[in-house]
């Protein structure tokens, strides 16, 4: 078992880059646990390094994986929010109406549901859009829209423990499948500070860093910015605790794509004065 590692960087891209290099060099290409934390936000989302982002997408596409944007949309569908033009009710409704269609895009991967769906429609069967029988009407606040609960409670004087949302559901997810591909993201929470800022924390049981990591961090960061703006706050920091961060095997870059990506990460970290080499 590897030693726990803490990564703290001034933007998402540099944080992912350091994590990528660390996991590549770790024994068995696994770090357990890993904490990735970063700052650098405005109301539109997290700051990124275009060279790192471009290199990640190039390696993902070349390895026949989903792009960063596609993965990020599973946690926060940015395009739908822009189409809603600031109307949260329209945003939520359009997503819930489209849930069965999203599941149908890949019935195998999505059969257990989608992350944003669990966050705003916890009690729905995502395959049909029909309420689940084990959640009677009124048993879940805001009809299972945990994000709306957080926004409504994100005011001074409210207990911080109320600013949290669950993705994992024992009644649905403790199953006998040989490989449980969803949900890897288990839980999120927010900390509202008196200076008008808010921080977000996320917990992953496991994560495939190359295949999903950058997109996961981006989706979470966009979700954090959404909650902050709608609450009249500013995002200060996003921290992700990953119980087991892993890569390689069939989930890493295809042969010949890992080295250029690692080089792009090293160059970006060196440019920012944050890479000493060989660490």
pLDDT at 278: 43
Least confident of 41-50, 124-133, 135-144: 135-144
d(CA 73, CA 115): 9
Q: Per-residue pLDDT averaged across 69-86, rounded?
A: 94
Residue 59 has a pLDDT of 95
Most confident of 91-105, 223-237, 251-265: 223-237
Cis peptide before 148 (omega within 30 of 0): no
Structure token pair of residue 254: 């295809």
Residue 258 three-state SS: helix
Question: What pairs with residue 165 in β-bridges?
Answer: 188
Q: What pLDDT shows up at residue 91?
A: 96
Higher pLDDT pick, 185 / 176: 185
pLDDT (mean) for 220-238: 95
- In this prediction, residue 279 carries a pLDDT of 41
Lowest pLDDT segment from 86-100, 168-182, 200-214: 168-182
Percentage of the chain surpassing pLDDT 70?
A: 94
**Res 52 pLDDT > 80:** yes
**In angstroms, rounded to a whole number, what is the distance separating the alpha carbons of residues 199 and 37?**
10
CB of 245 within 8 A of CB of 27? no
pLDDT computed for residue 1 by the predictor: 56
Give CA–CA dist 69/92, Å, rounded.
20
Q: Which of 182, 166, 63 is nearest to 123 (CA)?
A: 166
Spatial CB neighbours of 147, under 8 Å, sequence gap ≥ 6: 119, 120, 165, 223, 226, 227
pLDDT, tens digit, 9 for 90 and up, residues 13-42: 999 999 999 999 998 899 999 999 999 998
Q: What is the pLDDT of residue 158?
A: 63
């Amino acid at each position: 078992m590897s030693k726990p590692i803490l990564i703290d960087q001034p933007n998402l891209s540099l944080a992912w880059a350091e994590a990528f290099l660390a996991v590549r060099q770790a024994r068995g290409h696994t770090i357990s646990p890993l904490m990735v934390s970063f700052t650098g936000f405005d109301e539109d989302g997290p700051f990124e390094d275009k060279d790192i982002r471009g290199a990640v997408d190039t390696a993902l596409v070349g390895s026949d994986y989903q792009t960063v944007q596609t993965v990020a949309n599973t946690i926060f569908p940015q395009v739908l929010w822009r189409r809603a033009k600031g109307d949260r009710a329209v945003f939520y409704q359009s997503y819930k109406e489209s849930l069965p269609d999203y599941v149908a895009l890949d019935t195998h991967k999505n059969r257990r549901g989608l992350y944003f769906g669990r966050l705003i429609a916890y009690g729905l069967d995502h395959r049909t859009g029909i309420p689940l029988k084990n959640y009677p009407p009124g048993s879940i606040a805001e009809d299972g829209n945990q994000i709306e609960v957080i926004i409504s409670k994100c005011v001074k004087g409210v207990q911080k423990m109320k600013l949290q949302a669950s993705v994992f559901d024992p009644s649905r997810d403790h199953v006998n499948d040989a490989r449980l591909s969803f949900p890897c993201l288990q839980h999120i929470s927010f900390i509202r500070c008196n200076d008008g800022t808010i921080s977000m924390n996320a917990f992953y049981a496991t994560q495939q860093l190359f295949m999903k990591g950058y997109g996961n961090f981006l989706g979470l960061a966009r979700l954090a910015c959404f909650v902050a703006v709608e609450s009249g706050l500013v995002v200060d920091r996003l921290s992700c605790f990953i119980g087991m961060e892993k890569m390689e095997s069939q989930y890493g870059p295809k042969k010949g794509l890992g080295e250029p990506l690692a080089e792009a990460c090293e160059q970006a970290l060196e440019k920012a004065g944050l890479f000493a080499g060989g660490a």
